[in-house]
Amino acid sequence: MSPRHICQASAAARPCAWGADGLCSRAMGTAPLSLRRRAFACLLVLTVLGGCAAPPAPAPVGDETVQYRSADYLIVRLDGDATPAEVARRYLGDERLGWVVAEANPGAAFRCEQTVVVPLSPRNRAGLRRDGFQTIPILTYHRFATDCSSPLCMPTAAFREQMRYLKDNRYHVLSAEELLAFVEHRRPLPPRSVLITIDDGYRSIYETAYPVLREFGFTAVLFVYTEVIDATPVALTWSQLAEMRRNGFAVGSHTIQHSDLTLPREGESGAQFAARVEQELVGSKQILDRKLGQDTWLLAYPYGNYDPKVVASSQRAGYKLAMSVKRGGNPFFANPFTLKRDQILERDLPTFVKRLKTFNSLPLE
């Protein structure tokens, strides 16, 4: 039986689950365990056989350090001491793929004259293993202060402790582009990958979180509702957003007024409600595009609320990823318009660590 036939048989056996996004999804999480294992086996077979492999990156031409090349990998003799990131930048054109080089050369010191392998076409873009699959936690913060009374406020010392934990334990803090490539099955991610997001647009993002994140070499996605920017002393300014964006931070929409897109206002007709939702999504994108000189493609639903109509409107508006605040991780088969996020409300480190689940065990045996 071919891998494709195995996959088709597994899909036929699984019932259709209608999700909150209004789409029919034969989701592994809703099927019985035996069927989930069969579906997972299908995904593993297709991934291992490389059925979705993209064309390899071009190898450098005329580079005398290249001892052997194929469509899948290079064997190179280093002409100087290097880091995996430097090797990835030289041979793959992207230093963020340093982890791929490191994984292909366990224990290597990357010293001058050492021979190392450089994979050109990483096959496991889905993060699948025989015992489960990779999942990406998205951490969500709101505002920061030395002392906090609200659960939406994170004390500066606790935030620094959390970021230090990520750094010391070698978590890879993603860019939004990396997450998009993963859920589109275009690019693998390091085993311990997380995304950091900060909602609303409080000034403390710039004054507190921004310097702490830069201290550890991290970036974040900032979801702002445009009405508040430059409008109050406790809110961010457009110049602050532009500066953070220049330093690798992404800025996405949290709509214009941060109103629930699933609830009509009192006395609002159906047509008026639909028009307002459209304006919140399209209008906020247009403002961000104009003010920051970007093409805004990231969205966080206010209060994390969405329904099938909101999802469809978000797609029409030109967004590529949209996020809720439903807890949980995001595997490669996550719906890009209903991504889950964990709000970091507790300040103690053990609770924070529990939010960092990056692998979902699903044994096949």
CB pairs under 8 A, 24+ apart, for 67-70? 67/115, 70/120
Q: Which residues are bridge partners to 343 per DSSP?
A: 140
SS3 state at 85: helix
CA distances to 20, 93, 117, 303 from 120, in Å: 38, 11, 9, 42
Q: pLDDT per residue over 335-364, tens digit each? A: 999 999 999 999 999 999 999 999 999 876
Is the pLDDT confidence value at 26 over 50? no
pLDDT value at residue 189: 95
Main-chain dihedrals φ then ψ at residue 8, nearest 5 degrees: -65, -40
Gap between the Cα atoms of 168 and 352, Å rounded? 14
Gap between the Cα atoms of 158 and 349, Å rounded? 8
Q: pLDDT per residue over 290-332, tens digit each? A: 999 999 999 999 999 999 999 999 999 999 999 999 999 999 9
Main-chain dihedrals φ then ψ at residue 18, nearest 5 degrees: -90, 115
pLDDT band for 188, please (50, 70, 90 cuts). Answer: very high
pLDDT value at residue 62: 65
Q: pLDDT per residue over 227-283, tens digit each? A: 999 999 999 999 999 999 999 999 999 999 999 999 999 999 999 999 999 999 999
**DSSP state letters, 219-234:** --EEEE-GGGTTTSTT
Q: pLDDT per residue over 93-151, tens digit each? A: 988 889 999 989 999 999 999 999 999 987 788 999 889 999 999 999 999 999 999 99
Identify residue 145 by its one-letter amino acid code. Answer: A
Structural domains of the chain in order of their starting residue, each with its CATH number: 3-53 (no CATH), 66-119 (no CATH), 132-361 (3.20.20.370)
pLDDT value at residue 124: 84
Q: Which of 18-22, 61-65, 232-236 has the lowest mean pLDDT?
A: 18-22
**CA atoms lying within 13 Å on the CB side of residue 357:** 16
Gap between the Cα atoms of 355 and 170, Å rounded? 16
Exposed/middle/buried for residue 181 (C-beta within 10 Å: 0-12, 13-18, 19+):
middle
Residues near 211 by beta carbon (within 8 Å), at least 6 away in sequence? none
Residues near 143 by beta carbon (within 8 Å), at least 6 away in sequence? 150, 152, 153, 154, 200, 202, 204, 205
Structure tokens at 191: 């085993």
Total number of residues shown for the chain: 365
| pTM of the model as a whole | 0.81
Gap between the Cα atoms of 241 and 251, Å rounded? 8
Count the Cβ atoms, other than its own, within 10 Å of residue 115. Answer: 13
Main-chain dihedrals φ then ψ at residue 289, nearest 5 degrees: -60, -45
Structure tokens at 159: 């935030």
